[in-house]
Structure 1
Amino acid sequence: MMIDWKKGLTTSFIAALTVPLAGAYTVSAEEADLSVEAESALLIDFETSQVLYNQNAEDQRGIASMTKMLVEYILFEEIEAGNLNWDDEVTISDYAHAISQNYALSNVPLQQGGTYTVQELYEALAIYSANGATIALAEEMEGSEAEFVDRMRDLVESWGVEEYQLYNTTGLNNSFLEGNHYPGSDEDAENIMSAKGIATVSQQLISDYPEVLETSSIPTKTFREGTSDAINMLNWNWMLEGMTHERMDVDGLKTGTTSFAGATFTGTAESEGRRLVSVVMGAGDGFTNRGQRFEETSKLFDYGFGAFEYATIIEAEMDMDEEYNIAVRNGVEEEVSLVTTESIAFYLPEGSDIADYSYTFVPNEEVVNQNGEVEAPISVGENLGQLVVENTEDLEFLDGEAPDSVNVAAAQSIERANVFTVFSTWLREFFNGVRDRF
């Protein structure tokens, strides 16, 4: 059956047909039967960026050593660009040396003026959150920590993170940096970002450089084994294999603790080919209950892996019903059938009733006229409109936009009719137009 497009057309020609569909369901922290003991918490599906749990994830809070994920990303960029190699030697500055000697902080001791490979310093950063090693890498890449911070700022802004405060590469309070402060920053300034911002950083890091997980998943390693510098580096991520809060599906990513930030943790876990990324911030102070951030992260992972089903709302290459067929003007066929070119799918809570959702077909105004016709010739795959899924407003994604539409294309090519048929069509339309005036 062919639709009479003249019925129900608006002036902007957002036309349509609305049909019930297995569709979207709103997931929010308020609805979830889950309580996370942290100031902020966020859980996302890595592949789709869908937010599965949000607890104050827009609030700006201290990020502590989670800052170092930005250093890791830029380091991988430099390696990829050929500007740096893993076996390159880095000479330790007075500043990096001084910070590395503060055993109140997480550190591997670095010799003043000594040399260490990029690989050694990176492992110290990724496994042990070593602050002196982090500064040494930043100085090697940009000449100074301040210049490196500028690059960090540019990077997060390029990812759409607009609210942040970044003053150093380590996430330490400025008061620990022995006067080596970013120009204009306060004596006690500290890096700040939201859980959503940090989730964006971690997602970009894992997506662009998944090899980061090869190191972040190492529970323990000896720094400079067999030398006088040797020190055992025990990963601060206690969810790794053999640790006190182990989960076999966890392989990263970065902890952080300061008095200002409290205990923070960006975690990631993979189960049956599906990866989740979590962020908890202010999960206790990191001292009186040092395992709280891991306990809360485990809750999030249990919820994310166990409480959702992946529902395909619109399938790719789905042949649409005949009622969607569009009339063809001046073609060898009277109408063209439609097919979807993409799919839309969401994670929905198990047992969700999704029968009330629908999609609307919106014709492409550039090719479909006000009479609901498309002019021949038509090529297979030509874009003739979109299917727009309704009721997705409350679905949340890390970039803030739910994918709620897919393109709809011509399912077959239709040639233009011969000149006599085209002329007769024109003649008929002309006289119909004259008649309609009277």
Structure 2
Amino acid sequence: MTRTPRISPLLPSLLATALLVGPVVAAEAATHKTKAQAAAARKAKSAAPAEQAMTTDANGRSIPLLQNKAWVLMDYSTGQILASSNPDEPLPPASLTKMMTSYLVEQALKTGKVKPDDKVTMSENAWCRGGKNGDSCMFVPLNAQASLMDMLRGVVIASGNDASKALAEHVGGSEAGFVAMMNAEAAKLGMTKTHFENSDGLPGANHKASARDLAVLAAAIIRNSPEFYPIYAEREFTYNNIKQGNRNALLYTDPTVDGLKTGHTQEAGYCLTASSTRNGMRLISVILNANSMQARADQTRVLFNWGYANFEQATPAQAGAALTTPKVLYGVVPEVAAGVPTAWSLVVPKGQAAAVKTEVMLNPGLEAPIAKGAVIGKAVAVADGKVLGEAPVVALADVERAGFFLRIKQRVAGWFSK
């Protein structure tokens, strides 16, 4: 006998539940997927770099808009200011002051006034009392001695106020004597908006420097202290078993950056002077009064990227190459080769280097004797009718004065050539 299977009375309700739950689960899964995608999109958006804000300078050029009190971007080889904001206002420089301290020590080393292995004493006046009040310290014990080169690294890398004062006393006889040297050197370099009151950069009523002046100082260090400049790229320094890292964050993230100095006080904000070289072109940037360490590093990156993207080098004339051969009156030879004494380079907007032309303007009535290297005119670099720069033109050889009879002969010949 065949049995008819019994159907549970619960089956219809189970089937109905399945029909209802299936779409709900699918909808919830779809909702979760949508939320995940939205979260991922928000994360990607927040991770993407914000577009750099720009402004217009006095010449109508578009330049970066940065949140600080002053900044400068300068070409090292020519001293050209490529862009700036408030470049000449004297502002508190904080530990950017120590660039002048280290520079004077480096120059004293070059002249032999001090020696690398000199023992420098940590006086009570210079001693750092445990880094109170946010002081940066090398942490040399009171009355202890350290080598001059260790002290120099303590200034450049660790930004030690104690090392700065100790070196000032060692080189200048006293910190006051050294400060007088600092101001004299600032005047010599043309730092017209700068006045120093101490060697470490702690606040002082009249302790100020401009962004332009600090760029000039950085260029002097690079140019005149080549044997010591690599110290500015060192990432860490250890003294007395205390290891300190260089505060210049760009040294860790940008291989084209090789210096120079950070600074910070509550009054000065966060400051940074840096130098970068790409494709043979070196730029120097100065940031004054940014609102954080991250901001000063980010703003410096913006300036370097903008500068290299918008400018290139042009060479209107090579050193020693004759640009023209003007006539010379009363010389043993009738003419002299003339050119620029040193390699002449300019920084021009990207794409204009090939369009740069050189025009030579000579002093009228050149007459022997003329010494090699004597300035006899100028060269003017022009592109699209705009003067980009000038350079002195010099005689590339000596021209002796002719004897009496040869001069008479030349004069007579001149009468008939008119």
Instruction: Give the shorter-chain TM-score range.
Output: 0.7 to 0.9
Separation in 1, partners of 2:133, 2:344? 51
**Aligned-pair RMSD on alpha carbons?**
4.0
Report which structure shows greater RCO (CA 8 Å, sep ≥6). 1
Give the direction of change, closer, same or farther, for the CA distance of 1:417–1:347 in structure 2 (3 Å limit): same
Aligned to 2:98: 68
Aligned to 2:244: 233
Question: Do 1:338 and 1:411's aligned partners in 2 also have CA atoms closer than 8 Å?
Answer: no
- Structure 2 residue 90 is matched with structure 1 residue 91: no
Aligned to 1:312: 315
How far does residue 390 in structure 1 lie from its aligned partner after superposition? 6.9
How far does residue 222 in structure 1 lie from its aligned partner after superposition? 2.3
Question: Do 1:165 and 1:192's aligned partners in 2 also have CA atoms closer than 8 Å?
Answer: yes
Q: Across the two proteins, how many residue pairs are aligned to each other?
A: 360
Question: Do 1:384 and 1:409's aligned partners in 2 also have CA atoms closer than 8 Å?
Answer: no
How far does residue 195 in structure 1 lie from its aligned partner after superposition? 1.1
How far does residue 167 in structure 1 lie from its aligned partner after superposition? 0.9
Separation in 2, partners of 1:276, 1:282? 20
Question: Do 2:89 and 2:193's aligned partners in 1 also have CA atoms closer than 8 Å?
Answer: no
How far does residue 120 in structure 1 lie from its aligned partner after superposition? 2.4
Separation in 2, partners of 1:51, 1:211? 26
Identity in percent: 24
Q: What amino acid does structure 2 have at the position aligned with 1:34? A: P
Question: Do 2:169 and 2:175's aligned partners in 1 also have CA atoms closer than 8 Å?
Answer: yes
Write the mapping of 1:302-381 to structure 2, written as runs, cut at 5 A: 302-315=305-318, 326=327, 339-342=338-341, 344-352=344-352, 359=359, 361-367=361-367
Aligned to 1:11: none
Separation in 2, partners of 1:251, 1:424? 60
Separation in 2, partners of 1:69, 1:420? 57
Separation in 2, partners of 1:78, 1:50? 28
How far does residue 357 in structure 1 lie from its aligned partner after superposition? 6.8
SS in 2 for 1:403: strand
1:359-399 deviations in whole A, cap 9, x for unaligned? 353333352xxxxxxx8xx9897979424427799989xxx
1:277 to 268, 271, 284: 284
How far does residue 411 in structure 1 lie from its aligned partner after superposition? 12
Give the direction of change, closer, same or farther, for the CA distance of 1:425–1:280 in structure 2 (3 Å limit): same
Question: Do 1:250 and 1:269's aligned partners in 2 also have CA atoms closer than 8 Å?
Answer: yes
1:126-184 deviations in whole A, cap 9, x for unaligned? 1111111211111222232111111111111121223322111111124xxxxxxxxxx
Separation in 2, partners of 1:329, 1:147? 54
- Structure 2 residue 373 is matched with structure 1 residue 386: no
Write the mapping of 1:4-403 to structure 2, written as runs, cut at 5 A: 30-99=60-129, 101-102=131-132, 104-174=134-204, 189=205, 191-225=207-241, 231-241=242-252, 246-284=253-291, 286=292, 290-315=293-318, 326=327, 339-342=338-341, 344-352=344-352, 359=359, 361-367=361-367, 385-389=376-380, 402-403=389-390
Question: Do 1:100 and 1:110's aligned partners in 2 also have CA atoms closer than 8 Å?
Answer: no
Question: Do 1:159 and 1:200's aligned partners in 2 also have CA atoms closer than 8 Å?
Answer: yes
Give the direction of change, closer, same or farther, for the CA distance of 1:168–1:330 in structure 2 (3 Å limit): closer
Give the alignment's TM-score, normalised by structure 2: 0.72
Question: Do 1:252 and 1:267's aligned partners in 2 also have CA atoms closer than 8 Å?
Answer: yes
Bigger drift between 190-199 and 406-415 goes to 406-415
Give the direction of change, closer, same or farther, for the CA distance of 1:338–1:261 in structure 2 (3 Å limit): same
Q: What amino acid does structure 2 have at the position aligned with 1:386? A: G
Question: Do 2:378 and 2:392's aligned partners in 1 also have CA atoms closer than 8 Å?
Answer: yes
1:174-205 deviations in whole A, cap 9, x for unaligned? 4xxxxxxxxxxxxxx25201111111211111
Aligned to 2:412: 425
Question: Do 2:250 and 2:297's aligned partners in 1 also have CA atoms closer than 8 Å?
Answer: yes
Question: Do 2:381 and 2:390's aligned partners in 1 also have CA atoms closer than 8 Å?
Answer: no
Question: Do 1:331 and 1:417's aligned partners in 2 also have CA atoms closer than 8 Å?
Answer: no
Question: Do 2:122 and 2:140's aligned partners in 1 also have CA atoms closer than 8 Å?
Answer: yes
Greater helix share, structure number:
2
Q: What amino acid does structure 2 have at the position aligned with 1:205? A: I
How far does residue 264 in structure 1 lie from its aligned partner after superposition? 1.1
Larger Rg: 2
Question: Do 1:311 and 1:346's aligned partners in 2 also have CA atoms closer than 8 Å?
Answer: yes
Question: Do 1:107 and 1:128's aligned partners in 2 also have CA atoms closer than 8 Å?
Answer: yes
Aligned to 1:370: none
Q: What amino acid does structure 2 have at the position aligned with 1:192? A: K
Question: Do 2:274 and 2:300's aligned partners in 1 also have CA atoms closer than 8 Å?
Answer: yes
